[in-house]
Amino acid sequence: MFIKQNRRFGNLLLLSSLLTISFFSPTYAQEQTLIKKLVKKFLAAERDSTRSASLIVLPALGYAQETGVEYGIAGTYNFYLDKTDPASRTSNITLMGTLTTEKQKNIKLLADIWTKDNDYHILTELRYRDWPFNFYGLGSDTWLADEDFLEHQLARAKIDIEKKIVPRWYAGVNVEYENFKFNDREPGGIFAQPDVLGKTGGQYLALGVSSLYDTRDNTTYTTKGIYSRLKYAYAPRFWGGDNFRGSQLEVDIRGFHAISPKITLAAQTLYRGTFGENVPFYAYRDLGGDMTMRGYYLGRYKDKNYATAQFEFRYRFMPRLGIVGFGGTGSTFSQKHNLRLVPSFGGGIRYFFSLEHNSSVRLDYAIGEKRPGEKRQTGFYLSLSEAF
């Protein structure tokens, strides 16, 4: 996925530049013909009967005070490992990379692979992130006035391998390694409180198992079916100090129902939990982002447990175009911090760049809560693939 949240510039700048060049070019008539051909291609309703792969690359351009000018690319490649089997599910590889004028970087490589006969489902992630973020404290009742600016480095490598046991049911194993480093630019703030453990960072290696029941008709744009995944992992004490030792649990249940050929109702419930003694804050669960609880800064609310429920009303009025309305609620919580459900709602536009794979680019605007004395929390997202 590719996220642009609360940035004042972006892809609209690139688009307007291209249109300006075309309008004032001496070959205006020829370029107008080219534009018409491109529009026709982008809106074409015909599917590719060859089951070929598809590729899309988006430019990134943005600005924020803490990072300066941000630039880079995000792209995704969709393909079938077995073109001869019409039941073969879409595999994809996604790369995102951005740099800033403040010498920060964010590089992420994701893969979601379905092998021949859909016998194996393989998920991988490689990521390096040298990027500042705002810390607001722990729990579901944090305040904007407590914002503490941190330098942050993250290295992550993970792989999940699941094998089909019987039709629609998979079981597997997973391994994840994470390494964190932090530096508080503004000492004496809320980050310095004694209940925040792991202030300089840490690392852990988690080993786990998973179970997946999947009846979806399509993995990229589902119109009917159920997705139910349970994942558990344990991080032994390979390292001492503030390095995380404990358990992680995730339950992800999704349902899809086609009200009509063009309208789909989708719903998701998600729980993520972290268990152990003296859990460092970097192993806590975050509310927000572009996938769940849209409209909130990722990590605005942070705790050992996170639960959310969301729905989407999807209307694909043309093969290439659709609109979405969504809403939901969620909260972080623990024994120390009570559950406090907050709202998330909004809408968006979908462009399907590959009809063969039903792969989309989504543009969402989301609205969250308004806390007393603060501006209402909102988020703008440009992403590759559906939220769920």
Give per-residue pLDDT as tens, 328-376. 999 999 999 999 999 999 999 999 999 999 999 999 999 999 999 999 9
Which residue has tokens 């039941």? 87
Position 194 in a domain? yes
The CATH number given to whatever domain includes residue 116 is: 2.40.160.50
Q: Judge whether residue 1 has pLDDT over 50.
A: no
Who wins on pLDDT, 43 or 283?
A: 283
Q: Judge whether residue 154 has pLDDT over 50.
A: yes
- pLDDT-derived band at 242 (thresholds 50, 70, 90) equals confident
By C-alpha distance, which of 35, 51, 53 is closest to 43?
35
Position 2 in a domain? no
Q: Judge whether residue 6 has pLDDT over 50.
A: no
Q: Judge whether residue 225 has pLDDT over 90.
A: yes
Position 51 in a domain? yes
Q: What are phi and psi of 6, to 5 degrees?
A: 55, 40
Position 3 in a domain? no
Length of the chain: 388
Give the pLDDT score at 41.
Answer: 61
As a whole number, mean pLDDT of residues 248-261 equals 98
Percent of the chain topping pLDDT 90: 80
What is the rounded CA–CA span in Å between residue 173 and residue 252? 16
Q: Judge whether residue 68 has pLDDT over 90.
A: no
What is the rounded CA–CA span in Å between residue 353 and residue 63? 27
Summary mean pLDDT of the chain: 90
- pLDDT-derived band at 4 (thresholds 50, 70, 90) equals very low
What is the rounded CA–CA span in Å between residue 259 and residue 153? 45
Give the pLDDT score at 37.
Answer: 60
Max CA separation in the chain (angstroms): 70
Position 6 in a domain? no
Q: What is the pLDDT of residues 94-103, one digit of tens each?
A: 999 999 998 8
Position 117 in a domain? yes
Which residues partner with 309 through β-bridges? 269, 329
Which residues partner with 98 through β-bridges? 72, 106
- pLDDT-derived band at 67 (thresholds 50, 70, 90) equals confident
Q: Which domain holds residue 209?
A: 11-384
What's the structural domain count of the chain?
1
What is the rounded CA–CA span in Å between residue 99 and residue 298? 20
Give the pLDDT score at 9.
Answer: 35
- pLDDT-derived band at 155 (thresholds 50, 70, 90) equals very high
As a whole number, mean pLDDT of residues 250-257 equals 98
Which structure tokens are listed for 259?
A: 């009200």
Position 148 in a domain? yes
What is the rounded CA–CA span in Å between residue 345 and residue 328? 6
Give the pLDDT score at 18.
Answer: 35
- pTM (predicted TM-score): 0.87
As a whole number, mean pLDDT of residues 59-72 equals 83
Q: Judge whether residue 245 has pLDDT over 80.
A: yes
What is the rounded CA–CA span in Å between residue 89 and residue 116? 9
Is 144 in contact with 100 (CB distance < 8 Å)?
no
Q: What is the pLDDT of residues 168-220, one digit of tens each?
A: 999 999 999 999 999 998 888 999 999 999 999 999 999 999 999 999 999 99
DSSP letter (8 states) at residue 291: S
As a whole number, mean pLDDT of residues 60-84 equals 88
Who wins on pLDDT, 17 or 105?
A: 105
Distances (CA, A) of 307 to 86, 273, 339, 346: 36, 9, 9, 19
Position 61 in a domain? yes
Give the pLDDT score at 185.
Answer: 86
Is 12 in contact with 63 (CB distance < 8 Å)?
no
Give the pLDDT score at 117.
Answer: 96
As a whole number, mean pLDDT of residues 27-56 equals 69
Other residues' Cβ atoms within 10 Å of the Cβ of residue 222: 24
What is the rounded CA–CA span in Å between residue 316 and residue 332? 33
- pLDDT-derived band at 42 (thresholds 50, 70, 90) equals low
